[in-house]
Amino acid sequence: MTKLSVAIVGAGMGGLATAAALHRAGIGVNVYEQASKFTRLGAGIQIGCNAMKVLRGLGLEPLMRASAFYPRSWNNREYDTGEVRFDMIFGEQAEQRYGAPYLLGHRGDLHAALASAVPAEAIHLDHRVVDIEQNPDRSVKLAFANGSAVEADAVVASDGVHSFVRDQLFGGDDANFTGRIAYRTVFPAALLNVYAIGDCTKWWGPDRHIVIYYVKPDRSEVYFVTSQPEPGFTVESWSAMGDVNELRTAYDDFHPEVRHVLAACPAVHKWALFDRDPQTNWSQGNITLLGDACHPMTPYMAQARRWRSKMPPCCRAA
Ligand SMILES: Cc1cc2nc3c(=O)[nH]c(=O)nc-3n(C[C@H](O)[C@H](O)[C@H](O)COP(=O)(O)OP(=O)(O)OC[C@H]3O[C@@H](n4cnc5c(N)ncnc54)[C@H](O)[C@@H]3O)c2cc1C
């Protein structure tokens, strides 16, 4: 019997995590990524206790504990008065309850950890998929913009919110622009000039919010991400820059702690927020979709769309 071969399209979080898991299971895996190199994106990422159990299964828990921040809580405060609305306790209490830590990390550290769990020779950069075809024997052929082509027994398409494979399989309806944008950045905490901020705080305004947290165990780097209405801006890119002064103005009625962080940050990225309606089918033959290619959600929906109905109205709008 020949070894099962799986081709993965896209080396984002979903593609690399899948590749690492399949590799550990002894399945032959190759990842095809359009980018010519990996860049360390200036963004944070919450790694929930359930996600940490996956990373534990991939042997990456020590790496993530050493590189990410272990917050005491996720605090939720009123945007102007700073009144605490609810403080979700994490730290050791959550770790005991859920059997794994809740961490706040740098997206680049998580990406690098996942990449380290996949053999280097299985990651093929500069391979943008431009055609996908199922053969009569159910094997799948992928063709790339660089002129090469491969065949695999199955394909997992984790090529993001504007998935080429999804369009090929199920038709090309556009992702929904939510009318909201996010500013985000990671910067050295030294720029705060010894001003003390919370471990992790979400500041809730009437139509906008900002989440601020550390992403390093020694509190040396701070991350924030906002969400606010801006119907005219639809650029969805990890590299597009925003105007830091416009951002400061948009939050000038927020609490002094927020204004201090925004005054200290040297530059920001700007990102239009998209989602998609749920799809009934994720797979066709031996091709399946995964991650944002399949079910993208806005960052503030985090892990549970069904939580939405339980949230206060201001959270649902944000
Ligand atoms: C501002 C923001 C904050 C977020 N914060 C969190 C958070 O704290 N916690 C959390 O769990 N989630 C968070 N999310 C959501 C999370 O980032 C995404 O769900 C996740 O990155 C999706 O991973 P993915 O692998 O499916 O897609 P992506 O990470 O988008 O990766 C897709 C990959 O496919 C490649 N690709 C695309 N087309 C092709 C092609 N034709 N051929 C080859 N390669 C291709 C791309 O270059 C890319 O590398 C956030 C999202 C945003 C926008």
Q: What is the mean pLDDT of residues 273-285?
A: 88
User: What atom in ligand 1 is closest to the CA of residue 127?
Assistant: 43
CA of 7 to the centre of ligand 1 (A): 18
d(CA 241, CA 266): 12
Whole-number percent of the chain with pLDDT over 90:
79
CB 314 within 8 A of CB 300: no
Which of 73, 113, 78, 76 lies closest to 94, judged by CA?
Answer: 73
Please list the active-site residues: 213
Q: What is the pLDDT of residue 171?
A: 86
For the residues 225-242, what does the mean pLDDT come to? 85
Q: Tell me the per-residue pLDDT of 155-190, one tens digit each, with 9 for 90 and over.
A: 999 999 889 999 999 987 778 888 999 999 999 999
Residue 14 alpha carbon, nearest atom of ligand 1? 25
**Residue owning tokens 């550990």:** 24
pLDDT at residue 300 greater than cutoff 50: yes
Ligand 1 is surrounded, with C-beta below 6 A, by 9-15, 32-35, 45-46, 128-129, 158-160, 164, 182, 184, 225, 271, 291-293, 299
Q: What is the predicted pLDDT for the residue at 287?
A: 97
| pTM, full prediction | 0.91
At 234, the pLDDT band (50, 70, 90 cuts) reads confident
Q: Please list the residues that pair with 268 across neighbouring strands.
A: 242
Reported as type and span, the H/E element at residue 158 is none
> What is the rounded average pLDDT of the residues 196-209?
96
Contact assessment for residue 12 and residue 107, using Cβ atoms and an 8 Å cutoff: no
Using 50, 70 and 90 to split pLDDT, how confident is the model at 303? low
Q: Give the residue, out of 30, 34, 41, with the most ligand 1 atoms within 8 A of its beta carbon, to mutate for a pocket test.
A: 34
Residue to probe by mutation, ligand 1, list 37, 74, 158, most atoms within 8 Å of CB: 158
For the chain, give the mean pLDDT. Answer: 91
Q: Is 291 left (phi over 0), alpha (psi -120 to 50) or beta?
A: left
Distance CA 197, CA 199 (A): 7
Query: Is residue 132 over pLDDT 70?
Result: yes
Which tens digit of pLDDT belongs to each residue from 2-43?
A: 789 999 999 999 999 999 999 999 999 999 999 999 988 789
Tokens of 285: 């033959």
- Residue 59: how many other CB atoms lie within 10 Å: 13
Per the document, the length of the chain is: 318
Calculate ∠ Cα 58-60-65, nearest 5°: 150
Q: Token match 């239009």: residue?
A: 272
pLDDT of res. 239: 78
Sheet holding 129-134, edge to edge: 129-134, 140-144, 149-152
pLDDT tier, 296 (very low <50, low <70, confident <90, very high otherwise): confident
The pLDDT value recorded for residue 305 is 45
Residue corresponding to tokens 């000038």: 252
Residue 74 has pLDDT above 50, yes or no: yes
Instruction: Kindly indicate the confidence band of residue 266, based on its pLDDT and cuts at 50, 70 and 90.
Output: very high
The reported pLDDT for the residue numbered 309 is: 43
Split at pLDDT 50, 70, 90, the class of 299 is: confident
The atom of ligand 1 lying closest to the CA of 293 is 26
Q: What is the mean pLDDT of residues 214-232?
A: 95
